[in-house]
Amino acid sequence: MLLATWNINGVKARSEALLAWLDERKPDIVGLQEIKSVDESFPRADLKARGWHVETHGQKGFNGVALLSRQPPATIERGLPGDATDEQSRFIEGTWEVGGRTLRFASLYLPNGNPIGTEKFTYKLAWMKRLEAHARRRLGEEMPFLLAGDYNVIPQSEDVKNPAAWAEDALYQPESREAYRRLLNLGLTDAVRASSDQAETYTFWDYQAGAWQKNNGIRIDHVLLSPEAAATLRSVAIDKHVRAWEKPSDHVPVVVEIDPAALR
């Protein structure tokens, strides 16, 4: 069973690339981030024609997350709990019945947080604290789940080509990285690093300064698994080739393979 996450960076602008990748990869569940579309104008007709079920939590012009799946979800929840005043669309979570067990999958778009020293960085850290609390609650349910998406956090120096260039960026601040480590310390598994310690493993290349051509990338798209989900992990792939397609997103898909028979 293939589960994937992709910051599409505008679903309308990348609809052809999305359809091409779905046809090529044939995943079972996909979390999209930064769809930049309200729910009503999400381009779902072509997806439905190909057999995809679509759930969105959209926002005009920026943010926005979605879940695509071959089978319709049993439940859908929109918005990260913990702040009823938060109007930004950054979190959607669904459940699916797989092999007689409920599997939970969330697509998240964590705040960027720049510039440092402003309310944007404060919001980023507060959002991460809410995510930690939510993950703790989900872990208490002892259900297999995945928290997948654009975390806007570079966890370690090996996750960036040029660490010095990011020293003043919110993605690489000690507070951001510490908040990410707190998630792992709850008992979650970083799927990419659980499967490989290969150098220059990136998921994002900026559009500027020839970053793609120079492989000047960072790893900020993560899939975190509960212990029950981690026990089913079979492989992880980063579909780097998609970045070379026409009109690409600056992110690429991260694909996790799990064994449904091993769900417990």
Place 100 in a pLDDT band, splitting at 50, 70 and 90: confident
The domain 2-262 having CATH identifier 2.60.40.420: the answer here is no
Does the annotation list 152 as a binding residue? yes
Tell me what the pLDDT averaged over the chain comes to.
97
Place 99 in a pLDDT band, splitting at 50, 70 and 90: confident
pTM of the predicted model as reported, rounded to 2 decimal places: 0.97
Cα–Cα distance between 259 and 231 in angstroms, integer?
A: 9
Phi and psi, residue 104, nearest 5°: -110, 135
Does the pLDDT of residue 264 top 80, yes or no?
Answer: no
Catalytic residue among 28, 150, 159, 169: 150
- Residue 26 to residues 3, 54, 69, 115, 247, Cα–Cα distance (Å): 10, 15, 10, 38, 21
Token couple for 65? 């997350």
Catalytic residue among 109, 151, 180, 202: 109
Does the pLDDT of residue 189 top 80, yes or no?
Answer: yes
* Mean predicted confidence (pLDDT) in 60-75: 96
- Strands, DSSP E only, in 8-132? 29-33, 53-57, 65-69, 75-78, 91-98, 101-109
Q: Is 251 a catalytic residue?
A: yes
pLDDT value at residue 183: 98
Burial code (b: 16+ CB inside 10 Å, e: under 16) for 137-176 equals: ebbeeebbbbbbbbbbbbbeeebbbeeeebeebbbbbeeb
Does the annotation list 216 as a binding residue? no
* Beta bridge pairs of residue 80: none
Burial of residue 49 (number of CB atoms within 10 Å: 0-12, 13-18, 19+): exposed
Does the annotation list 197 as a binding residue? no
Does the pLDDT of residue 56 top 90, yes or no?
Answer: yes
Domain boundaries, the chain: 2-262
* Mean predicted confidence (pLDDT) in 91-116: 96
**Percentage of residues of the chain with pLDDT beyond 70:** 100
Q: Is 57 a catalytic residue?
A: no
Does the annotation list 7 as a binding residue? yes
Burial of residue 78 (number of CB atoms within 10 Å: 0-12, 13-18, 19+): middle
Q: Is 39 a catalytic residue?
A: no
Q: For residue range 200-220, what is the model confidence (pLDDT) as tens digits?
A: 999 999 999 999 999 999 999
Does the annotation list 241 as a binding residue? no
